[in-house]
Chain A
Amino acid sequence: MNMRNNKISLLGSKGFRTYAVVLVYIVLMGIFMITAPRAFLDYKIYMAFLSTIPFSLVMALGLTFVIIAGEIDLSFTSVMAFSGFIFTYIFIHTGSTILAFIASLTAGLVAGFINGIIIAKVKVPSIIATLGTQFFWAGLAVVISSGRSLIINEIRPSFMYRIFVGRIGGIVPAQAVWAFGLAIILGFILNKHRFGESAMFIGDNRDTAKMMGVNVDKTLIQIFMLSGVLAAFASVLLACEMVTWWATQGPGFLLITIAAVFIGGTSIYGGEGTIFGTVVGAFIIGSITAGIVASGVGGFWTQLVVGLVLLIAVFINTFVSRRGR
């Protein structure tokens, strides 16, 4: 009897999900170290992860809040494409990184605000609202760029280039520091700030949240603005890292970012999730492609493995939350 209780409380604790996702990552890395020792026992591949994963990780942080609040955002990659266009276009035409940066973040905030208004005030379900804005922002980016890429080699000597995507000590990609820094701050906000608590209650039981004085509409708008501004920030990091903006950059990030959040243990039903889980989830997703290619199995397997890992993670989470009740 006692043992049974212990088991249930261990499985039911939120901590367990976090352990589970870390365990999944360790197992995955273990497999890759065995199947591709040359790549995975060398620190360089981890530096490569630190340079590529931050783009989807930064967006996954905002998406975590959205999903915790019981909503979904399908538009963030299009917001990334659009605000990335704003960034590169303004940089090319003014030469000012600061101006380009501010304009880009503003575009992200505005796009998020529009999502928020449609969802919180007009009461359109977020899956439809953000599907619409996804097409809209991606389409707008294609139309105003005429589908052409923009190359910003001139940004390399700039201060912003160095602090956003430089290599610290010649090794560590700066974007990883930004992504981790944001993750820590947003982790605190989720757990210790009224904003994060409101998001959790909105996702858990919207009526309760409303009755207890949470301003549900305002919080939802803010959450979508957070998602938008983080997408814009990711777009700036991406534009700097690649010194290129291209119109179709969004779609490749959409599903892996959503998968990262779910692998990280955030509940599709809303009300619970952790930033730490999302960080690990983003690393799991981001490591799979490299791992598979390095293992010599062939890139064709990537999607299959991502799918398997997602299913396993979601299975664990569903199982845990059912036992925890």
Chain B
Amino acid sequence: MMNNSKNLVEMKNIHKCFGKVVALKGVDFQVGNNEIVGLIGDNGAGKSTLIKILSGVYPPTRGEIYIRGEKISNRRYSVRKAHELDIETVYQEKALGEKQSLWRNIFIGRQISNFFGFIDIKKEKEETDKIMKELIGFRGVGVSADSSVGKLSGGERQGIAIGRAMYFNANLIILDEPTAALSAKEVSKVLNFIRKIKESGRSCIYITHHIADTYSVSDRFVFIDRGEIIGEYKKSEISLEEITEKLLMVSAGNSGKEIANEYEKQ
């Protein structure tokens, strides 16, 4: 079954229940081609549930998913299938092996190897250098393909994970709170990596509750609250102040303290 929309991803009327808890109540969500979507919501609003459905971690209770206009079978959808459809999710704490070198981290699971399974280390290192320089504009001082991940800063780690996704042709890269544990300087690095995603013609879903961050890189903002989409705005339609205010209002009933603090800082 085809859907003639031009969107990369169309999620229609998505419901998700965990036992008696309803996490998503009929969510409609789209991602266009070469679009950065900022998915904004408070903790527990349903952001992560929504993207976990899209990345194949669990199936929706009800609803339809179209990718490049093609309907996806909810039952047969999986993380592997999502990868086949060029959708990659970067989870903060699960992205990389700390003690391993960058080149091993880039190619683990998809090694350049010969018939007997021996890895072409030279080639993998060369490709890793290319990824760092060309794809993500890595300028970490003294960082080479041989460095171990443990030596990288938090922002650089996100960069490697994003670069890996881009290298393996991910067309949609989902970033789930990539800046949650980072310093301001590191956050700006991650935002640069997201700009690289956009420049290379790919799409991205950027999940955060740091509104100022997402405002600078996203093309469109989707607000989610208590399992429902409560607003969608193009960047031209809304200012940073309006977004902040809106989120403050919706989360007044939730735990809005964090956002209030954020607002005060700005």
Partner of B111, one of A194, A207, A271: A194
Known: A197-B111, A200-B104, A212-B108. A192 touches B118 (CB 8 A): yes
Cβ-based interface call for A211 (8 A):
yes
When each residue 304-325 of chain A gets 1 if its CB lies under 8 Å from chain B and 0 otherwise, what string results?
0000000000000000000011
Cβ-based interface call for B117 (8 A):
yes
When each residue 280-300 of chain A gets 1 if its CB lies under 8 Å from chain B and 0 otherwise, what string results?
000000000000000000000
When each residue 219-249 of chain B gets 1 if its CB lies under 8 Å from chain A and 0 otherwise, what string results?
0000000000000000000000000000000
Q: Is the CB of B100 within 8 A of A213?
A: no
Contacts of A325 in B (CB 8 A): 150
Cβ-based interface call for A217 (8 A):
no
Q: Is the CB of A324 within 8 A of B150?
A: yes
Contacts of A12 in B (CB 8 A): 151
Q: With CB as the reference atom, state the residue of chain A lying closest to B110.
A: A213
Q: With CB as the reference atom, state the residue of chain B lying closest to A214.
A: B109
Q: With CB as the reference atom, state the residue of chain B lying closest to A267.
A: B99
Cβ-based interface call for B97 (8 A):
yes
Sort A-B residue pairs by CB-CB distance and give the 10 closest, nearest first: A213-B109, A212-B109, A204-B97, A271-B99, A207-B94, A194-B117, A212-B108, A201-B97, A272-B99, A205-B97
Q: Is the interface of A mostly helix, strand, loop or mixed?
A: helix
Q: With CB as the reference atom, state the residue of chain B lying closest to A201.
A: B97
Contacts of B79 in A (CB 8 A): 211
Cβ-based interface call for A7 (8 A):
no
Cβ-based interface call for B95 (8 A):
yes
Q: Is the CB of B100 within 8 A of A200?
A: yes
Q: With CB as the reference atom, state the residue of chain B lying closest to A14.
A: B148
Cβ-based interface call for B17 (8 A):
no
Chain B 78-122 residues near chain A, CB threshold 8 A: 79, 83, 91, 93-100, 104, 108-111, 113, 116-119, 121
Can you list 20 A-B pairs with a CB-CB distance of less than 8 A? Answer: A192-B119, A193-B113, A194-B111, A194-B119, A197-B108, A198-B108, A200-B104, A201-B100, A201-B104, A204-B97, A207-B94, A208-B94, A209-B109, A211-B79, A211-B94, A212-B109, A213-B83, A213-B108, A213-B110, A325-B150
